[in-house]
Amino acid sequence: MPEPPEKLRQGPLREQAWRGPLRSERTAALLGLGVAITFGICFVTGVLSHVAQNPPSWLTWPARPVGLYRVTQGLHVITGFAAIPLLLAKLWTVYPKLFEWPPLRSLAHAAGRLGLLILVGAGLFQLVTGVLNVARWYTPMPFFFTVAHYWTAWIIVGAILIHVGSKLSVIRRGLARGQQQPAVDPARGGLTRRGFLTTVAATSGVLALTTAGQTVPGLSRFAVLAQRDPGVGSQGLPVNKSAVSAGVEDSATDPTYRLVLEGPRPSELSLAQLRSMSGTTVSLPITCVEGWSASATWTGIRV
């Protein structure tokens, strides 16, 4: 493919444009490692959440430890927020490569760029929709969040594996301890690579800290970004909706209410029968898929 006319070699198309330690292989590799770790944690904990809500016939979610889902879902949301600055910094570091010439060198190169486009698009989709779900703002999402979020996660994992496989030699070179690269461009000065990476890591840490308080009791005073205040509500339980606001107060107290238990020995219990049974009072945590959790005292019939 012929070189573009010199008059088009302006801005990002200039030869040697966007060069410097902040856009080096090492910077990109370190940020990519952070993105891979956070997205990996989100994927594993997200799959666990999906299995807990949609268990296959051969799997039963363990009853002990009682706080297991609290840990996995809290970790899912915390690492999701922490991944935001990591992904944005990674994209800022590598996006000048979009202006490389020629744009398509071969069929394999074209396939790699297409895969990268899928990876970037799916990654941004997951983070944006995840934040919208935590905020319970569903108007911009004309689809069922959990289904889209779950299947897009598998697309991301596949795209990451393909990307890592195609860039393995570059990643290994970037992560090599012996790689000699200037920490700052002597001609330009400014922020060093270490300073840039420290800033990104600190931003991720602040987002994680200010989100974790909605599920980690000891950090509740730092939870300025949490969508639920752990100290609000009866027993400090910030429920999303009361029975009145959900419109289920009448149906929940209707004498015709029936609890239907299906299985090898199906059973049906009326509200009067349930009230006649001896109840049990226990202290258990409740966890929402939005990331918040709290412990409270519950009284009811063991199923």
Which residues neighbour 33 within 8 Å (Cβ) at sequence distance 6 or greater?
A: 175
Residue 223: inside a domain = no
Same domain, 261 and 139: no
Per-residue pLDDT tens over the stretch 192-209: 888 899 999 999 999 999
Which residues neighbour 176 within 8 Å (Cβ) at sequence distance 6 or greater?
A: none
Please give the mean pLDDT across all residues of the chain: 82
Same domain, 201 and 239: no
Q: What's the pLDDT at 201?
A: 94
Which residues neighbour 233 within 8 Å (Cβ) at sequence distance 6 or greater?
A: 239
Residue 224: inside a domain = no
Report percent pLDDT > 70 for the chain.
85
Q: How far apart are CA 136 and CA 189, in angstroms?
A: 44
Q: How far apart are CA 238 and CA 232, in angstroms?
A: 5
Per-residue pLDDT tens over the stretch 125-178: 999 999 998 888 888 888 899 999 999 999 999 988 888 887 788 888 888 865
DSSP assignments along the chain, one per residue? -PPPPGGG--GGGSTTTT-SGGGSHHHHHHHHHHHHHHHHHHHHHHHHHHHHHS--TT----SSSTTHHHHHHHHHHHHHHHHHHHHHHHHHHHGGGGG-SSS--SHHHHHHHHHHHHHHHHHHHHHHHHHHHHTT--TT--S-HHHHHHHHHHHHHHHHHHHHHHTHHHHHHHH-TT----SS-TTT--S-HHHHHHHHHHHHHHHHHHHHTTT-GGGGGG-TT-SS-TT-SGGG---S--HHHHT-HHHHT-TT-EEEE-SSS-EEEEHHHHHHSPPEEEEEEEE-TTS-EEEEEEEE---
Same domain, 270 and 124: no
pLDDT-derived band at 33, boundaries 50, 70, 90: very high
Same domain, 208 and 238: no
Q: What's the pLDDT at 12?
A: 59
pTM as predicted: 0.81
Same domain, 272 and 140: no
Which one, of 250, 240, 34, 232, lies nearest residue 133 by Cα? 240
Residue 76: inside a domain = yes
Same domain, 98 and 193: yes
Which residues neighbour 199 within 8 Å (Cβ) at sequence distance 6 or greater?
A: 191
Q: Which residue has the higher pLDDT, 101 or 22?
A: 22
Which residues neighbour 45 within 8 Å (Cβ) at sequence distance 6 or greater?
A: 72, 73, 75, 76, 79
Same domain, 180 and 272: no
Same domain, 72 and 177: yes
Same domain, 181 and 290: no
Residue 221: inside a domain = no
Tokens of 65: 């430890």
Per-residue pLDDT tens over the stretch 37-91: 999 999 999 999 998 888 888 888 888 898 898 899 989 999 999 999 999 999 8
Q: Which residue has the higher pLDDT, 98 or 276?
A: 276
Q: What's the pLDDT at 95?
A: 78
Q: What's the pLDDT at 279?
A: 82
Per-residue pLDDT tens over the stretch 103-126: 677 777 777 778 788 889 999 999
Q: Which residue has the higher pLDDT, 177 or 273?
A: 273
**Greatest mean pLDDT range, 127-131, 238-242, 254-258:** 127-131
Domain count, the chain: 2
Q: Which of 14-23, 57-66, 159-168, 289-298 has the lowest mean pLDDT?
A: 14-23
Tokens of 130: 């995840």
Same domain, 280 and 138: no
Residue 225: inside a domain = no
Residue 228: inside a domain = no
Report percent pLDDT > 90 for the chain.
24
Same domain, 92 and 123: yes
Same domain, 149 and 283: no
Residue 37: inside a domain = yes
Range of the domain at 156: 6-212
Residue 226: inside a domain = no
